[in-house]
Chains A and B, each alone.
Chain A
Amino acid sequence: MPKIKLPTKSPRIDMTPMVDTFAVILTFLMLTATMRQDEPANVETPFSISEKPTPDFNTMTFLISPEGKVFMNMDNGHDTLLKFRPRILDEMGKRYGLEFTDKERREFEKFPSSMGVPIMQMKQFLAGKNSKERDPFQLGIPTDSLDNQLAMWILCARQVNPNIQASIKGDSKTPFPAVKEVLDNLQDKKINRFMLVTSLEAAEINLDEIKQ
């Protein structure tokens, strides 16, 4: 019987398929990754036990900074196929006597994070090329009773997209009256159901903790 000769060379493993697989997974993860948007105000959300994820569509988010400034975002970032954002801007323009050009509407559509620009400065804001030129206009949406633009934004957003839901994103240090102002504005428009954006935290109670 002939002997089976074992190869003396150290075996080499061909890693190419493995690298290919990794590359595919990596590309997939990089493309699906939701990058953190640069928000106009730094907000640390409070914690809760809720496990419901944030909806991606049909949502308007009100960002309330610790200083009490209000910013608004539709569909949390880039526009969806239904192009709600330029239509909301048009509706706003109609009410304040402003006509927006196609370029401005596109800029508004593309704007990735929350905006809090008084409507009269919207044109200058949209003309800005980068965040450095734009940030000075991010003063927060006026909410006082003389010039309640927040109420208008809510009205226009609901006219354009009747299914829109309101969520509120505030910092744990935001004074409550600022939040109350936004809640009141929403309730005036008959929105009584809100989503509060929070971070997840675990809390558990046990049976023996409950005294009978």
Chain B
Amino acid sequence: MAEIIQEEKSKGGKKKAKKHPPHIDMTPMVDLMCLLITFFMLTTAFAKAKVMDIVLPEKIDTPDEQRSMVAESRNVNIILGPDDRIFWYPGAVKPEEYNNNIFPPLVELDYSATGVRQLLLDKNATLAKNIKEFQNKVLKGELILTQDSVAGSIKKLKADDDTGPFVQIKAYKESTYGNFVDILDEMNICGIGRYMFVDITWYEEKMVEIATGKAVVASAN
């Protein structure tokens, strides 16, 4: 711009037929466009949100006897508590226990890599190892597969596994949606093959209340 103005001044207002077409310095324009392009490229690439698939168990009222039973030792109950707290207990509470006000204590975890992830990885060691080794093979190029068959193979590894935990996720009424997504994400990170989201039972709510100090332990008599 400055250049053009100077050139015009030096001509002193005389009207003369121009010999050459005037040169416009386009550098600032190019600079500006470069900036705009960079801006748009960076913003558009990250604008798209991601989605996480989740399948919930169908609501069918099956009688208890017909339900497939899993070994109690493989059962892991994760309870999303209030104030971003998270608890777990193994196995299951038997009717004769909760009817007599005996509740197994909950163990508190946290959402960090050393909390719930460590627990799940320990429980799921064989499967997690198999999945990781498989992924490493793909990354190193020892196995050449399409993206679809990689996902399919991992799914098969998960389905064939019979050592990993059977995780039941339960949400206490004061938990948040963020907790829910976090725990489902942990399932994906740890490669848990079998997990489901189930409604919390009254005795589990009671257990959370005892663990958070909201309810006093009723003396069993």
Residues of A at the B interface (CB closer than 8 Å) are 12, 15-16, 18-19, 22-23, 25-26, 29-30, 32-34, 36, 45-55, 64, 167, 169-180, 183, 187-188, 190, 192-200, 203, 205-207, 209-212
Contacts and interface: CB of A to CB of B under 8 A. Distances in A.
B216 interface: no
Interface string B19-59: 00001001101100110110011011001111111111111
B12 interface: no
B30 A176 contact: no
3 pairs of A and B residues whose beta carbons are closest in the complex: A172-B178, A29-B40, A195-B51
Contacts of B128: 205, 210
B97 interface: no
B125 interface: yes
Nearest to A44: B178
A22 B34 contact: yes
Contacts of A54: 48-51
Interface in B119-147: 121-122, 125-126, 128-129, 132-133, 136
Counting chain B residues whose Cβ lies within 8 A of the other chain, the interface size class is 35 or more
A33 B44 contact: yes
Contacts of A199: 49-50
B177 A172 contact: yes
Given A33-B44, A205-B117, A207-B133, A53 B178 contact: no
Contacts of A36: 47
Nearest to A171: B177
Given A33-B40, A171-B177, A192-B58, A53 B48 contact: yes
Nearest to B175: A176
A55 B125 CA distance: 34
Given A48-B184, A172-B178, A192-B57, A34 B33 contact: no
Contacts of B56: 183, 187, 192-194
Contacts of A197: 49-51
Contacts of B129: 207, 210, 212
B174 interface: yes
Contact of B52 (A22, A29, A32, A52): A52
A15 B41 CA distance: 22
A169 B47 CA distance: 15
Contacts of B34: 22
Nearest to B80: A176
Interface in B169-200: 171-182, 184-185, 188-190
Interface of B: 23, 26-27, 29-30, 33-34, 36-37, 40-41, 43-44, 47-59, 80, 113, 117, 121-122, 125-126, 128-129, 132-133, 136, 171-182, 184-185, 188-190
A176 B51 contact: no
B30 A46 contact: no
Contacts of A55: 51
Contact of B40 (A30, A167, A171, A212): A30
Given A187-B59, A198-B181, A199-B49, A26 B133 contact: no
A207 B106 CA distance: 29
A190 B57 CA distance: 10
Given A193-B54, A195-B51, A210-B132, 20 more contacts: A23-B33, A26-B33, A26-B37, A45-B49, A47-B181, A49-B185, A50-B185, A172-B177, A174-B178, A175-B173, A175-B175, A176-B175, A187-B56, A193-B53, A196-B181, A197-B49, A198-B50, A198-B185, A199-B50, A205-B117
Given A15-B27, A46-B177, A52 B190 contact: no
